[in-house]
Structure 1
Amino acid sequence: MSGENADAGPLLLGVRHHGPGSSRAVQAVLEEVRPRVVLIEGPPEADALIPLAAEEDMRPPVALLAHAVDEPGRSAFWPLAGFSPEWVAIRWALEHGVPARFIDLPATHTLAWERDGESDGEGGVTRPAAGPGDGGRRRGTAPDGEDDPGTEDERLPVRAEGPGDEAGDEAGTGDGDAGAVPAADVRVDPLGVLAATAGYDDAERWWEDVVEHRGVGKGDPVAPFTALEEAMTALREEYGSGGHHRDLVREAHMRLRIRAARREFGDGVAVVCGAWHVPALRRGTPVAADRALLKGLPKVKADMTWVPWTHHRLSRSSGYGAGIDSPGWYGHLFAAPDRPVERWLTKVAGLLRAEDRVVSSAHVIEAVRLAETLAAMRGRPLAGLRETTDAVRAVMCEGSDVPLALVHDRLVVGDVLGEVPATAPAVPLQRDLARIQRRLRLKPQAAGRELELDLRKGTDAERSRLLHRLRLLGIGWGEPAVSHGATGTFRETWRLRWEPELSVRVAEAGVWGTTVHAAATARAETDAVAARSLDTVTGLAEHCLLAGLSEALPTVVRVLADRAALDTDVGHLARALPALVRSLRYGDVRGTDTVALAGVAAGLAERVFVGLPRACAALDADAAEEMRSHVDAVHGAVGLLGESAPGHGELRARWRSVLRRLSTRDSVPGVIRGRSVRLLLDDGELARDEAARLMGLVLSPGTPPADAAAWIEGFVGRGSGGGLLLVHDERLLGLVDAWLTGVPAEAFTDVLPLLRRTFSAYEPGVRRTLGELVRRGPGARASATAGHAGTAGFATGLDTARTDAVLPVLRLLLGPDADGEEPDAAPPGTTGGAEGAG
């Protein structure tokens, strides 16, 4: 048999993917015609998965996921919503006991085609692919910013296109015009062309008017498909493949599958496919030509399953080639039995009320009236999304687009996440993850939410370990967030959001193990051995402790010790030490044995102590500033080592000795010397008199102004609390003031930027107090404060007038005196009653 003609051919139902109007029409035709088999555009490997669509736990939106067995990150999706014609056809076939089969190009060729014909430039970044039969909507590994050819609902009407598709050129070797692939072509959006012909500049609005608001034709349910086929035939005659060169190969495979079905079932064959393909499937093409197009296609071994999908991923804004602008709205149109406008605006009112906006029944009634009036004024058969949106903005949102954006995100697009039954095929890692999610009551959700964890609680600690293990495996279900009002290492905050692409990440991570714990352990050990830098390994050790991967720690610690022994860069060692100390603290909170890690941290600290003085010599300004940050980090790390490190007391003594050497060496940059003095002063290892003496030496006339300014920056700059130190220590402030006033005019311009950076970091109140003190001059502060209550500064004694003024408030706060009697209020200015207040 060489082909079929329009009289004897199968029943071809050309649809718009994810079009609710097409879905209603498909259901009406199937009920009327009752075919013996239903053929659907989609990968044939998924035929065995079709019965799962009848499971009670299967809730769209869902997607068929295909991935290469040897390269799980290379994948493709075929999404289906409850209002997709393909899903309606599958459900009808299952409910009526009719065989349903997919007839598109097998995924084994699609995945290999993507690999050989395109490079994603991002190492196999998975992107949302298309639903069945979209004319090239699969984008499993498409380059960033590029889309594969699409069908009637995804392009501008006509646009210039460059050279033909490589895989299409390769496949175009058959006889006849089906194999003719031009070197240059135009890429056509059939839906856009039809809308433009009808005088519409918005294809979505045209589709609503002519399909969604007209309903299924009465009398002959096939009539809408006949009209659409005629329009597509004219377009194919005008534009050929329309730039969709891979469609030629796909259509050849579909024709062969249709022929096979007709041999088995006769004329009782119904085909549900994209309307763009109908003319090509109707055309009589020799079998030899179709087989020639398919000969020699590349292949890879592929696995398929069902995965949950979201309405957001069906939207055009997500980058989905065959996306629609309003999945939530289309789902409502398909599901609403009657009065769709009233039901929609009631949903909107419920959402706004849940967000604490005042929306009454009167608002809904008025919004319905306004939407219907707008539709009549605009000559539309029924109020559409634009009319209802305008009515919501005017009536319920008081003209504001802020709440309207919430309506768009939650309802027009929607955040619905589908579900698949547990019996669906899955890699062992996916099954283990699902089991853990159920046990820990962490259900994946499409809408983002925050999760607060208290690591002292068993369930929360397990949740934390799971999320950290998934992050280590590259499965970004949760991202750490800033805790609001919670402090301490036993608190964690996560931002959770489940994206459909994470199913691919889970399949990809399956190569590391069959359980989340085993896979994360293997991944950590492998990454540790492959790490090239010390700080990478220390970060990995921290991840292992956070994830509770005690089995991986020995390997990570061994690699860490080896890298630390070979690394001679003090900067690398200094960056690594704080991460190790954080790891020790996290280990303490989680009850993890960190003795080996503590030994490595102690050894790393010793190497920093030995190399730091030499590394701080002869540095330029930028290198000195970077080294100063290392000194701060090491100081904090040594202080936190505490009891965790062996010989902790000796470690701290050694570090103080290093700081003393840094503070007195002339070869060390001023910013590091000043910072070392400040750290010793804060720890009580340096007397104020000694600090003042060192400052006086540095700020003496013999020191170059730039070096002195750098010393000041290290001593009182960069959020170190230096402003308060100067406020409380008049001698230090006097030294800085005297030096600053003595800087020569020719050098002042050079030191001004550094001084501005130093003092601009102070709080406004601190800067104001310092200004007052400097204005009054050295030595005048105490006398000025004693003579003028309320002025800035500190007196030597107690100001009784000011203390008496707060006593009435203290009585109110502290209650009656020891005898249970309320003491008489003492007037301001007296000290009587102070005993009662105590």
Structure 2
Amino acid sequence: MTDGATGPLLLGVRHHGPGSARAVRAALDAAAPAAVLIEGPPEGDALLPLAADERMRPPVALLAHAVDDPGRASFWPMAEFSPEWVAVRWALDHGAAVRFIDLPATHTLAMAGDPTWTDGEGEEADGGEADERRQGLRVDPIAVLAGTAGYDDPERWWEDVVEHRGTGAAPNGPPATGAHDPLAVFAQLADAMAALRETYGHGGHERDLVREAHMRLQIRAARKTHGDGIAVVCGAWHVPALTTRTTVTADRALLKGLPKVKTGITWVPWTHRRLARHSGYGAGIDSPGWYGHLFGAPDRPVERWLTKVAGLLRDEGRIVSSAHVIEAVRLAGTLAAMRGRPLAGLTETIDAVRAVMCDGSDVPLDLIRDRLIIGDALGEVPDTAPAVPLQRDLTRLQRTLRLKPEAMERDLDLDLRKETDAARSLLLHRLRLLGVGWGEPAAGRAGTGTFRESWRLRWEPELHVRVAEAGVWGTTVLAAATARAESDATSATALADVTSLAERCLLAGLSDALPVVMRALADRAALDADVGHLAQALPALARSLRYGDVRSTDTAALGGVATGLALRICVGLPPACTGLDADGAAEMRGHLDAVHSAIRLLPGPADAGTGGAGGSGPQDVAGRWADALGRLAGRDTVPGVLRGRAARLLLDDGRLAEDEAARLMGLALSPGTPPAEAAAWIEGFVGGGGADPGGGMLLVHDERLLGLVDAWLTGVPAEAFTDVLPLLRRTFSGYEPGVRRALGELVRRGSAVAGPARAEAAVPGFAAELDASRADAVLPLLRLLLGTEDTDDDELLGAGT
């Protein structure tokens, strides 16, 4: 550090360090410089006055991005306890000039996309003596100093020598003498960093040499205007380089020929969670909430912190009294003394909370880490900050729809019958189409209706970059989403991609984009003859028709395409299922289930379009599909898993009689059928899990089918059983535990019998016929429970069911 009387006042800090922030404020108060120079992108100079705006609330970040490639971006985050933020606010409050002096973002963003600038990764560093330098490893100066002082945790060392300075001598570290001299801690850190730079050179941070050359030039320029009455706030690692005597020519030579890109810059909200990431200043911290508390607590930080913890645990229903807080404070202080620390730090407070407030359990500590140690603070930026037009439109919509961005993840349930909720849904779907993942669809309330949606929302600072990238498509969310959908439709090559896009357009209410998407869909569907591709495409179209109803969207054209697609599948399915191997059959089984579910959503005979083979007039798609399944079920050249699946789907739809299902099963399980093929048929017919969670219940309630399976299984030869077992295990392992127990109990009791004996088989506890008198005895209690004393018996039984 240079004395302010003979040169610039160099204040080397740790980015986002509350102790450094307090020391910077004290040093600036003592020195009262005429100008403050801060490590940061000079393009942000014009935005510095916004830091004094009352609507600006940290954490915030400077976001710089390439104008022609918004995805190439970088952040310079600042929290309330960041030394840079403290220096900016001090300069604005005291009328001092304030500027950023780091390498301009126009160069740093261009260098980030240039493979010749690797920032020391994999390159040999200066000196060549240490293994770290020969291997091109990056040096963490705080970790090196902590290790030299005998600490295994850099965060704990920093707390002892900086954050807790003035409370006593720090063991194995520099003396904590900064309480009365605001410049002492900067002098000590400068000496420590000078020793590190002598040993490690640039420490693997090759780009720092260029940055430091630019900072030296900026300091020289400031001295010409303000003399030596300037203060420089920068990372402590850079202080030795800024005091090195170099020539202007040498520094300019380092900057010559640097790549450039056109750059835009603005302020964006940041979060405490993101402060833990290495971005911009490159100083990730593990506990921003804790650091914010240390900076904001005027005195007794441990007592205040443990009081916060107690309040959080009380809010979560745990019994925590003031006595717990007092005992935790005592224990934290005792642990600090035993460990030779000047003040209880985060480690001691966590240990004390675990022992005193959490009964030794680590489970509540996860909540404390998430809510307090890290925190969920989200900054705010005034509307006057520069922003791309798309961001301004998004901000307007967020306010209109009362959908505030939040750093914490939260669930949002929408009722699409309500105007506001429907508009929220459209916004979230449009943003997803633009690649702005603010919300993700989530499993919501139970029900089969289409008027409810559930979302999981969390706003991350990087979404500002995604919004800037999406700005190339339009100036409003609607216009941008429409243009993006049209572009994706014309460039898509796979039919499934276009059908998925059509679904997303309907969900997003992009009526202007639908004609383009529909033309692309019709073109791809006409050219694609692969049944598997058609089967992949149909479900999305069927869902689109279903959701179009609740959004009052005209889906007539889409219905015609979907119907034609379904009819083509019906025609091409049986040949496509012939001669498949095991993997191909398993894949086709998934297509069968998906198409079967999709066809249920298609328009009925009165509404269907005419597209399809041979047809003029409406087509009965469901009937054609049933015919195709029937051909599959009876064709010996089709793999057993598909024949069994086809039979099961027909049985579930009531298009296959139980006797016929039993006959098909009997044929499939006859002695002449290879055991592996028979097991595959069973897997297709009664396979549970996935799209058919009720497969096991079919066997529980239809003992004739269970008897057929049982009789076949007991007759499998021993030499073939090991080949059959994996298929059977896969089939029955998909059932719920209760279903497996019920099947086992039926087989154990011998109730699984086939043929006419099924009618005579008695299940223990159940009579062959209903006992009407015993059933009537339940009716008074049922009336009492339902509050329907005046209802007759028939109406009561209907209400009860």
Deviation at residue 803 of structure 1 after TM alignment? 3.5
Between the aligned partners of 2:134 and 2:707, the Cα distance in structure 1 is 81
Q: Are 2:765 and 1:790 aligned?
A: yes
Pick closer, same or farther for the CA change 1:814–1:335 going to 2, 3 Å: closer
> In the TM superposition, what are the counterparts of 1:378-393 in structure 2 within 5 Å?
378-393=339-354
Partner of 1:125: none
Between the aligned partners of 1:472 and 1:197, the Cα distance in structure 2 is 52
The answer to whether the 8 A contact 1:164-1:245 is kept is no
Between the aligned partners of 1:750 and 1:201, the Cα distance in structure 2 is 56
The answer to whether the 8 A contact 2:434-2:484 is kept is yes
The answer to whether the 8 A contact 1:773-1:781 is kept is no
Q: Are 2:310 and 1:349 aligned?
A: yes
Partner of 1:205: 156
> In the TM superposition, what are the counterparts of 1:205-244 in structure 2 within 5 Å?
205-215=156-166, 217=178, 220-244=181-205
Task: Return the letter of the residue paired with 1:798.
Answer: L
Pick closer, same or farther for the CA change 1:242–1:751 going to 2, 3 Å: closer
The answer to whether the 8 A contact 2:706-2:752 is kept is no
Task: Return the letter of the residue paired with 1:568.
Answer: A
The answer to whether the 8 A contact 1:104-1:250 is kept is yes
Between the aligned partners of 2:506 and 2:499, the Cα distance in structure 1 is 11
Task: Return the letter of the residue paired with 2:299.
Answer: D
Between the aligned partners of 1:738 and 1:190, the Cα distance in structure 2 is 74
> Tell me, what secondary structure is at the counterpart of 2:637?
coil
Deviation at residue 379 of structure 1 after TM alignment? 3.2
| Alignment counterpart, residue 630 of structure 2, candidates 647, 650, 660 | 660
Deviation at residue 238 of structure 1 after TM alignment? 2.9
Task: Return the letter of the residue paired with 1:645.
Answer: A
| Alignment counterpart, residue 79 of structure 2, candidates 69, 78, 81 | 81
Deviation at residue 162 of structure 1 after TM alignment? 4.1
> Tell me, what secondary structure is at the counterpart of 2:603?
helix
Pick closer, same or farther for the CA change 1:204–1:624 going to 2, 3 Å: closer
Between the aligned partners of 1:671 and 1:219, the Cα distance in structure 2 is 83
The answer to whether the 8 A contact 1:90-1:100 is kept is yes
Pick closer, same or farther for the CA change 1:22–1:708 going to 2, 3 Å: closer
> In the TM superposition, what are the counterparts of 1:454-533 in structure 2 within 5 Å?
454-533=415-494
The answer to whether the 8 A contact 2:495-2:534 is kept is yes
The answer to whether the 8 A contact 1:59-1:420 is kept is yes
Task: Return the letter of the residue paired with 1:771.
Answer: V
Pick closer, same or farther for the CA change 1:545–1:40 going to 2, 3 Å: same
| Alignment counterpart, residue 144 of structure 2, candidates 193, 212, 215 | 193
Between the aligned partners of 1:453 and 1:622, the Cα distance in structure 2 is 40
> Tell me, what secondary structure is at the counterpart of 2:71?
strand
Pick closer, same or farther for the CA change 1:371–1:606 going to 2, 3 Å: same
Task: Return the letter of the residue paired with 1:46.
Answer: G
Deviation at residue 252 of structure 1 after TM alignment? 0.9
Between the aligned partners of 1:819 and 1:683, the Cα distance in structure 2 is 35
> Tell me, what secondary structure is at the counterpart of 1:572?
helix
> Tell me, what secondary structure is at the counterpart of 2:21?
helix
Between the aligned partners of 2:199 and 2:493, the Cα distance in structure 1 is 58
Q: After alignment, is 498-507 or 738-747 more displaced?
A: 738-747
Between the aligned partners of 2:338 and 2:650, the Cα distance in structure 1 is 80
Between the aligned partners of 1:69 and 1:771, the Cα distance in structure 2 is 71
Between the aligned partners of 2:575 and 2:561, the Cα distance in structure 1 is 22
Pick closer, same or farther for the CA change 1:684–1:44 going to 2, 3 Å: same
Deviation at residue 588 of structure 1 after TM alignment? 0.9
Deviation at residue 393 of structure 1 after TM alignment? 1.5
Deviation at residue 800 of structure 1 after TM alignment? 5.1
The answer to whether the 8 A contact 1:163-1:185 is kept is yes
Partner of 2:535: 574
The answer to whether the 8 A contact 1:9-1:282 is kept is no
Q: After alignment, is 811-820 or 65-74 more displaced?
A: 811-820
TM-score, length-normalised on structure 2?
0.89
The answer to whether the 8 A contact 1:618-1:667 is kept is yes
The answer to whether the 8 A contact 2:18-2:294 is kept is yes
Between the aligned partners of 1:6 and 1:818, the Cα distance in structure 2 is 95
TM-score, length-normalised on structure 1?
0.85
| Alignment counterpart, residue 384 of structure 2, candidates 405, 423, 441 | 423
Deviation at residue 470 of structure 1 after TM alignment? 1.0
The answer to whether the 8 A contact 1:724-1:766 is kept is no
Between the aligned partners of 2:489 and 2:140, the Cα distance in structure 1 is 50
> In the TM superposition, what are the counterparts of 1:611-650 in structure 2 within 5 Å?
611-643=572-604, 645-646=608-609, 650=620
> Tell me, what secondary structure is at the counterpart of 1:281?
helix
Q: Are 2:727 and 1:754 aligned?
A: yes
Deviation at residue 117 of structure 1 after TM alignment? 2.9
The answer to whether the 8 A contact 2:137-2:204 is kept is yes
The answer to whether the 8 A contact 1:5-1:282 is kept is no
Deviation at residue 253 of structure 1 after TM alignment? 0.7
Partner of 2:518: 557
Task: Return the letter of the residue paired with 1:211.
Answer: V
The answer to whether the 8 A contact 2:696-2:740 is kept is no
Between the aligned partners of 1:729 and 1:571, the Cα distance in structure 2 is 33
Pick closer, same or farther for the CA change 1:658–1:515 going to 2, 3 Å: same
Alpha-carbon displacement from aligned partner over 1:694-731 (angstroms, at most 9, x marks no partner):
44444444444444443333333335545444455455
Q: After alignment, is 495-504 or 188-197 more displaced?
A: 188-197
| Alignment counterpart, residue 51 of structure 1, candidates 49, 52, 55 | 49
Between the aligned partners of 1:239 and 1:816, the Cα distance in structure 2 is 86
Percent of aligned pairs sharing the same letter: 73
Pick closer, same or farther for the CA change 1:802–1:713 going to 2, 3 Å: farther
Pick closer, same or farther for the CA change 1:703–1:375 going to 2, 3 Å: closer
Between the aligned partners of 1:185 and 1:784, the Cα distance in structure 2 is 80
Q: After alignment, is 718-727 or 199-208 more displaced?
A: 718-727
Task: Return the letter of the residue paired with 1:24.
Answer: R
The answer to whether the 8 A contact 1:314-1:320 is kept is no
Pick closer, same or farther for the CA change 1:243–1:631 going to 2, 3 Å: closer
Deviation at residue 232 of structure 1 after TM alignment? 2.2
The answer to whether the 8 A contact 1:6-1:282 is kept is no
Q: Are 2:650 and 1:680 aligned?
A: yes
The answer to whether the 8 A contact 1:313-1:320 is kept is no
> In the TM superposition, what are the counterparts of 1:4-15 in structure 2 within 5 Å?
8-15=6-13
Task: Return the letter of the residue paired with 1:571.
Answer: G
Deviation at residue 99 of structure 1 after TM alignment? 1.1
Alpha-carbon displacement from aligned partner over 1:255-300 (angstroms, at most 9, x marks no partner):
1111111111122111111122112212221111111111111111
Task: Return the letter of the residue paired with 1:351.
Answer: L
Q: Are 2:402 and 1:441 aligned?
A: yes
The answer to whether the 8 A contact 1:5-1:284 is kept is no
Pick closer, same or farther for the CA change 1:485–1:359 going to 2, 3 Å: farther
The answer to whether the 8 A contact 1:67-1:75 is kept is yes
The answer to whether the 8 A contact 1:192-1:203 is kept is yes
Task: Return the letter of the residue paired with 1:306.
Answer: W
Alpha-carbon displacement from aligned partner over 1:163-201 (angstroms, at most 9, x marks no partner):
248xxx9xx9xxxxxxxxx97656433323333333333
Between the aligned partners of 2:188 and 2:650, the Cα distance in structure 1 is 87
Partner of 2:743: 767
Deviation at residue 65 of structure 1 after TM alignment? 0.8
Partner of 1:335: 296
Task: Return the letter of the residue paired with 1:407.
Answer: I
Partner of 2:112: 114
Q: Are 2:11 and 1:19 aligned?
A: no
Between the aligned partners of 2:4 and 2:28, the Cα distance in structure 1 is 19
Between the aligned partners of 1:23 and 1:193, the Cα distance in structure 2 is 22
The answer to whether the 8 A contact 1:62-1:306 is kept is yes
Alpha-carbon displacement from aligned partner over 1:634-653 (angstroms, at most 9, x marks no partner):
22222211346336652222
Partner of 2:207: 246
- Which 5+ residue runs of structure 2 have no aligned equivalent? 128-132, 167-176, 611-617
The answer to whether the 8 A contact 2:269-2:380 is kept is yes
Q: After alignment, is 353-362 or 706-715 more displaced?
A: 706-715
Pick closer, same or farther for the CA change 1:110–1:315 going to 2, 3 Å: same
Between the aligned partners of 2:84 and 2:235, the Cα distance in structure 1 is 10
Between the aligned partners of 2:368 and 2:478, the Cα distance in structure 1 is 40
Q: After alignment, is 651-660 or 799-808 more displaced?
A: 799-808
Deviation at residue 100 of structure 1 after TM alignment? 0.3
Pick closer, same or farther for the CA change 1:621–1:507 going to 2, 3 Å: same
Between the aligned partners of 2:494 and 2:249, the Cα distance in structure 1 is 59
Between the aligned partners of 1:198 and 1:459, the Cα distance in structure 2 is 60
- Which 5+ residue runs of structure 1 have no aligned equivalent? 120-141, 143-147, 150-160, 173-181, 824-833
